[in-house]
Amino acid sequence: MAELSQILLLGMDHSELTALVDSVGEPAYRAKQLLEAVYRQRVESIDEISTLSLELRLALAEKGVSIGLPRIEQRFVSQDGTVRYLIGLADGQSVETVWMPEGDGGEAGDGSEAGDEAESFSLGTSGAKALSEREATAALKRCATQKQGPDQPQDQDQGQDQGQKQYQSQAQAQGLDLKQNRRRKQGQNQGRSTICISSQVGCAVDCQFCLTALLGVKRNLTAGEIVGQVCVVLKDQKVSPPEDRINLVFMGMGEPFLNYDNFVKAVRLLVEEVGIAERRMTVSTAGIVPRIHDLGAEKIRPKLAISLNASNDELRTRLMPLNKKWNLEMLMAAAKAYPLRTREWITFEYVLMGGVNDGPENAREVAELLRGMKCKVNLIALNPGPGIEFTTPEAERVAAFQTVLREAGVPAFVRRPRGRDIYAACGQLKRTVEIATAAAPSIELL
């Protein structure tokens, strides 16, 4: 357990570090050296900061200063490449953080650069768009309108099929070159990798379909503990933003808006010091209405995602007791008043549970709730787990729900489950150590 007198560098911003170095009689530029060492080099001890003199390192140690980087206690690797980290904190508590090497498509359609990449990937191209849209269109036209020779098919549809194959071959070849170049420059990261981080030890919101809710809430994480999750995963995966483009989602254990001040400070540190662009971050809330208004006023803020999960108040109160305090009318009013930036949409997340909230009438009610809003819906087929009474819906019902929304003019995407076999998927984080394959139908991203 950490000593009360201990001073942790991880979680400090520039002004706080400036005050620290001033307290030991050092010039202000030392603060920048500490920022670089802690957030970019991700050192584990003061002794590793070679830019500091031995005397200064000793002075900081005598003052009780340490880095405060959390430790990886266990690592679980899924068949799909997802990694679930059990990360230990100084007081003996632990949280979970998830690395998804190709994301889960959650950003698709949200208007951002990360969203463009996710949507492109869902259609079968490389995450960084193997060809630009202009190049792709030109290639298809060239292939489909080539003059037919004696050995070429006379049927127009066959000719277009041949053109499509030629285009795919070109795209694949160019995509391979892009991948090879990026691997040389950026390790294995292709711009789609996503880190899902926690904001609390446990969760107080008590959603009835979420494993994390079974833990209750132990405490809030500090800003340093939130940022520390990202730092240890980046170090373990050997990637480093901004050179490597990383997507970040505050969708792990806990409700970020119930730990608002630490969450906001962590966001600033992640943007300004770690180097992850705010347009590549998304925060998900169960619907803490006052904090939605607060987030809209922040100068540096992630994109907003709201967990909807029901189409009417009666059903939402059953699934999410939080709805008793902030009902759908209040939630929709806050969402409609939210100040969107250029190319920004609000995301609504909807966990589909078989026979509970996945019927066509539910989809029609959702479409009516969202009418006229600049938003999109992420559909998530329930990820099963012990202690959860609900079941995963059939793929046909997921597709039918999506169709109703799209026909009503609401962009709707199906999130691919990542790490379901190691309890790393959405709603499954419960610090599970004994891993058993969670059987459920495979849902593809549409």
State the sign of the Cα–Cα–Cα–Cα dihedral 113, 117, 118, 119: positive
- How far is Cα 351 from Cα 354, in angstroms, rounded to an integer? 10
User: Would you say 201 and 218 are in contact if contact means Cβ atoms under 8 Å apart?
Assistant: yes
Q: What secondary structure letter does DSSP report for 71?
A: E
DSSP track, 253-294: SS-GGGGHHHHHHHHHHIIIII---GGGEEEEES--HHHHHH
User: Residue 86 pairs with which residues in a beta bridge?
Assistant: 74, 96
The percent of the chain in helix, strand and coil, each rounded to the nearest 5, is: 40, 15, 45
Q: Which of 370, 359, 352 is nearest to 408 (CA)?
A: 370
Under DSSP, the state recorded for 38 is I
Tokens of 93: 């508590």
- Identify which of 265, 356, 354 has the alpha carbon closest to the alpha carbon of residue 310: 356
- Please report the DSSP string for 72-103 in residue order: EEEEEE-TTS-EEEEEE-TTS-EEEEEEETT-
Spot the catalytic one: 96, 255, 278, 365.
Answer: 96
CA 368 – CA 355 distance, rounded (Å): 20
Q: How would you label 419-430 residue by residue, b for 16+ Cβ within 10 Å and e otherwise?
A: bbbbbbbbbbbb
**96 tagged catalytic:** yes
- Sequence-distant (≥ 6) Cβ neighbours of residue 250 within 8 angstroms: 197, 199, 256, 263, 281, 282, 283, 284, 302
Q: Is 365 a catalytic residue?
A: no
Q: Which of 207, 210, 375, 426 is catalytic?
A: 426
- DSSP 8-state secondary structure symbol assigned to residue 309: -
Residues 375, 427: Cα–Cα separation, whole Å: 22
Residue 164: which of 142, 179, 186 has the closest Cα? 142
Instruction: Tell me phi and psi for residue 385, to 5 degrees.
Output: -175, 160
Point out the residues that are catalytic: 96, 426
